[in-house]
Amino acid sequence: MSERRAPRNARGHARGARLPVVPPTYTWPLASRGEAYRQAGRYDQAITDYTAALELDPTDARALASRSQAHRQAGHREEARMDVEQAAETHPDNRSCAFEKLMLETVEGRFETFRKQWRQLLTFATRTGPRSAQEAVPLPPTSDRMG
């Protein structure tokens, strides 16, 4: 006798299969949905989800750096600055936090800090990543680099 299989959708998942319920105490689903909103340009909704994730875990590096990015992209520079400073203080070796600080410094025109931040980020990438620093964080073309 052969087994009967449930009908499958295009991805091979059983139709009507239920996804596991994620307890509201996990920051990952909130930060992931916030990332989807941010990428869609829905910055206010992204900030709301990142804030909810940070209420559960105020030290979540991903949520801090991502909320800073959403604030920066929405034009809220002061809020972005507060988030990126907190992220850099609580997670000094986190690449995402360092990269977001670099982006904010660049947007604000602080080019001297720009050079310092690139060196810092490349140091982290070399020390913490399996890939070379050049692959982890590609530098802009030579003509775009600062002196």
pLDDT tens digits for 7-33?
555 555 545 545 455 566 788 888 999
Radius of gyration of the chain from Cα atoms?
A: 20
Residue with tokens 């449930």: 6
pLDDT (0 to 100) of residue 105: 82
Give the model's pLDDT for residue 50: 94
Q: Which residues pair with 14 in a beta bridge?
A: 8
Burial-class residue 131 by CB neighbours within 10 Å (0-12, 13-18, 19+): exposed
Q: CATH top-level class for 27-129?
A: mainly alpha
SS3 state of residue 84:
helix
Asked if 105 and 116 touch (Cβ cutoff 8 Å), the reply is: no
Please state the rounded mean pLDDT for residues 112-140.
59
**Helix (H), strand (E) at residue 147:** none
Q: What's the Cα-to-Cα distance from 106 to each of 98, 113, 114, 145, rounded to whole Å? A: 12, 8, 6, 12
SS3 label, residue 131: coil
The three-class DSSP label of residue 39 is: helix
Model pLDDT for residues 51-99, shown as the tens digit of each residue: 999 999 998 989 999 999 999 999 999 999 999 999 888 888 788 887 8
pLDDT tens, residue by residue, 94-113: 888 878 888 888 888 876 76
pLDDT of residue 65: 92
